Amino acid sequence: MEKQQTAGTTPQYGSEIALAFENVKFFYPESQTAAVDGVSLSVKRGEFVSIIGHNGSGKSTLARLACGLLQADEGRISVLGLDLSDEKNVAEVRRHTGIVFQNPDNQTVASIVEDDVAFGPENLGVEREEIGRRIEWALESVGMTKYRHATPSRLSGGQKQRIAVAGMLAIRPDILILDESTAMLDPRGRREVIDVVRRLNSEAGMTILLITHFMEEALLADRTIVMNRGSIVLQGTPDDIFENGEALTTYNLCLPEITEISRMLAAGGIAVPPCLRPEELASHIAACAKERGYSTLASPRTPRAAAPKNGAWDIDVKDLSYTYSASSPFASHALRGVDLHIGDGEFFGIIGHTGSGKSTLIQHLNALIKLPQANKKYKPPKLKKGQTPPTMPQITVGEYDLADKKCNFLSLRADVGMVFQYPEYQLFAETVEEDVAFGLKNFFKDMSAEERRERVRAAIAAVGLDPGEVCGKSPFDLSGGQKRRVAIAGVIVTRPKILVLDEPAAGLDPLGKREIMELLHKLHSEWCRTVIIVSHDMDEIACNCTRAFVVSEGRIFCCDAPHELFARYDELIPLGLDVPLTAKICRALGEYGIDIDCDYTPRGFADAVIAAFKGGRADA
């Protein structure tokens, strides 16, 4: 791939160093603590570097400094030999450095997808014919060719993110920075984007800085950097970093799940060395079985989960179809005849590829999208003689009939709380305290100011934030992880009977994800009857949900307990989904003739393997 030539100062392409930080410090306005604190770093041209760290560790700030979006307060930054402290160089650096943010709406500029992808090359003066080729290649690379003429605002969050990545690929930068760019993508989308990034790195020599919380992505890099409180605290090969799990826990990160599984097995008498990939762990388990002379090895069968019992707050959906912009050329079928039952008391999961209809479905559950017959202006169609009335969708949530125009929708929305995919869309007030109090003011108008204040502070504390520290702050001054927590606080403050969350842990570091799920389980056990989560993280579903359903192309593919659901490995992958890490290990073990049946949680998998070894049959 040829380098894009541009007017102006020519970067020193002969230099081996693509990016250099020398004792760099950066302070955000009105902050006494450095967001980046004395960082020194060099990245070679053509190097693939992954950066990990807890939310607020300085990763995103580092990325913005690297492409000139922020100016260092102290120290020196050079990109392709150009000193960023000289303002004359900033524009030239941006021609050769591309960054993709976590939220794609921060990068969308056009009303048509292909125009959005073309925006960068057009501003660089690329010839028209070449722009067309780049648009086609970039969209194909991220699996979005069929949306070329679509309107970005009508796409799902994951689809928007693919377009944002395509827009950066189209400028063919020398340095590509991805700031949690795959966090909102489905597994297929993540694989496609990362495959493109790897090809650009290996075949075109593009320098890659990948900020990620996904261990499997970080493992692909040449080098991994760990940040903590604005400083670089560890760096080395990914294997060295992740196998040294104790050091990660020191810096508010979690042990890789596969490391935890290895330790559980060792504690159960199956000594396996540290490893980071499912195939490696499977080979070590198989080697242990061979050493003990086992000819066959199988775990006890896991019983099927009991069907949910009927309760006062059951959710029933029947014949639900929905089309966006039904009477326009942009008509898009989001749901097609969905039938679903969610039992009172479940911790329920919803899985599906980007654009499958997940978000559309959950917005029906508290009538953010109303059923047709629930709209005030709806009138049943006049039927001709002998004509059969059309089948109308039906939704009941507890005692609420969402097909009834007289349904108390205000009360429904107090009882069915909703946290959206992008929490900043829910934040609007001048302070965090006012934002969290909004629901109470609308749903409980008779509540005293003192009681409201206590409820707000309790909700903020429940999501792991210090009320004294954040109540008076603007929610827009918070980090992405903090915004997520404030958005959840603004919903749980009303104590809804049913809590629905769209990707509640996406974009959070591993410890943050664990804390959010622990919070949801705490709320579930104390006062929230039913929790429903939409997630692309299959391990999250396996470890937390009683049941889950898979939606594909607007239809329900299947609905079952994780134990049954993730056993359908060969059916889920073609749907653009993934399976938990433990399911991948089970599959790899199957190639050695080892049959492990488990619930696909780390503890459940380890216990099943240990039980299999205890009951293993030795060679005659």
Model pTM score: 0.86
Which strand (E) or helix (H) includes residue 556?
strand 555-560
The reply to whether CATH 3.40.50.300 applies to domain 17-246 is: yes
- Determine how many CB atoms are found less than 10 A away from the CB of residue 389: 8
Cα angle value 447/448/454 (rounded, 5°): 95
Nearest Cα neighbor of 443 from 404, 491, 487, 397 is 491
Alpha helices in 78-234 (DSSP H): 87-96, 113-123, 128-141, 157-170, 187-204, 215-218
619 pLDDT above the threshold of 60: no
Q: According to the model, what pLDDT value does residue 378 have?
A: 87
1 pLDDT above the threshold of 60: no
pLDDT, averaged across the chain: 89
Q: According to the model, what pLDDT value does residue 247 have?
A: 83
Q: Which of 238-247, 282-291, 404-413, 440-449 has the lowest mean pLDDT?
A: 238-247
Please check whether residue 259 is in contact with residue 245, taking contact to mean a CB–CB distance below 8 angstroms. yes
5 pLDDT above the threshold of 80: no
Q: According to the model, what pLDDT value does residue 332 have?
A: 84
Strand order in the sheet with 17-26: 36-44, 17-26, 74-79, 82-83
Q: Which of 36-40, 239-243, 416-420, 448-452 has the lowest mean pLDDT?
A: 239-243
Amino acid at 177: I
Virtual CA dihedral for 73, 76, 78, 83, nearest 10 degrees?
A: 80
Nearest Cα neighbor of 31 from 65, 56, 12 is 56
341 pLDDT above the threshold of 60: yes
Locate the domains of the chain by residue range. 17-246, 257-304+581-618, 315-375+391-560
Mean pLDDT for 464-491 is 88
- Determine how many CB atoms are found less than 10 A away from the CB of residue 277: 16
**DSSP structure string for 295-358:** EEEEPPPPPPPPPPPP-TT-EEEEEEEEEETTTSTT-EEEEEEEEEEE-TT-EEEEEE-TTSSH
Q: According to the model, what pLDDT value does residue 55 have?
A: 82
**Given CA atoms 551, 552, 557, 562 in this order, what sign does their dihedral have?**
negative
Mean pLDDT for 9-22 is 70
Mutual angle of helices 187-204 and 157-170, in 10-degree steps: 10
Cα dist from 527 to 271, 415, 440, 498, 523, whole Å: 42, 12, 17, 10, 6
Q: How confident is the model at residue 351 (pLDDT cuts 50, 70, 90)?
A: very high
Cα angle value 503/138/238 (rounded, 5°): 60
Mean pLDDT for 128-150 is 91
The set of residues, in sequence order, having a beta carbon less than 8 Å from that of 540 and lying 6+ positions away, is 349, 505, 513, 517, 533
90-129 burial, b for 16+ CB within 10 Å, e for fewer? bebbbbbbbbbbbbbeebbeeeebbebbbbbbeebebeee
Q: According to the model, what pLDDT value does residue 306 have?
A: 78
7 pLDDT above the threshold of 50: no
Q: Which of 95-104, 172-181, 265-274, 410-419 has the lowest mean pLDDT?
A: 95-104
Mean pLDDT for 223-238 is 95
Query: What 3-state DSSP class applies to 98?
Result: strand
225 pLDDT above the threshold of 50: yes
Q: Is 84 left (phi over 0), alpha (psi -120 to 50) or beta?
A: alpha
**DSSP structure string for 353-374:** -TTSSHHHHHHHHTTSS--GGG
Mean pLDDT for 463-483 is 87
The answer to whether 17-246 and 315-375+391-560 have equal CATH topology is yes
Query: What 3-state DSSP class applies to 216?
Result: helix
245 pLDDT above the threshold of 80: no
Q: How many helices (H) and strands (E) does the chain have?
A: 23, 23
- Tens digit of each residue's pLDDT (9 = 90 or more) over 301-310: 888 877 788 8
Q: According to the model, what pLDDT value does residue 620 have?
A: 41
Q: Which CATH architecture has domain 315-375+391-560?
A: 3-Layer(aba) Sandwich (3.40)
Please check whether residue 142 is in contact with residue 162, taking contact to mean a CB–CB distance below 8 angstroms. yes
- Determine how many CB atoms are found less than 10 A away from the CB of residue 283: 17
Please check whether residue 502 is in contact with residue 359, taking contact to mean a CB–CB distance below 8 angstroms. yes
Please give the structure tokens belonging to residue 67: 């492409």
Q: According to the model, what pLDDT value does residue 617 have?
A: 62
Query: What 3-state DSSP class applies to 498?
Result: strand
Q: According to the model, what pLDDT value does residue 9 have?
A: 38
Q: According to the model, what pLDDT value does residue 555 have?
A: 93
Mean pLDDT for 49-53 is 96
Amino acid at 334: A
370 pLDDT above the threshold of 50: yes
> Which residue in this structure is represented by tokens 């990660």?
248
8 pLDDT above the threshold of 60: no
Q: According to the model, what pLDDT value does residue 35 have?
A: 95
- Tens digit of each residue's pLDDT (9 = 90 or more) over 595-607: 999 999 999 999 9
Q: According to the model, what pLDDT value does residue 179 have?
A: 92
Q: According to the model, what pLDDT value does residue 66 have?
A: 95
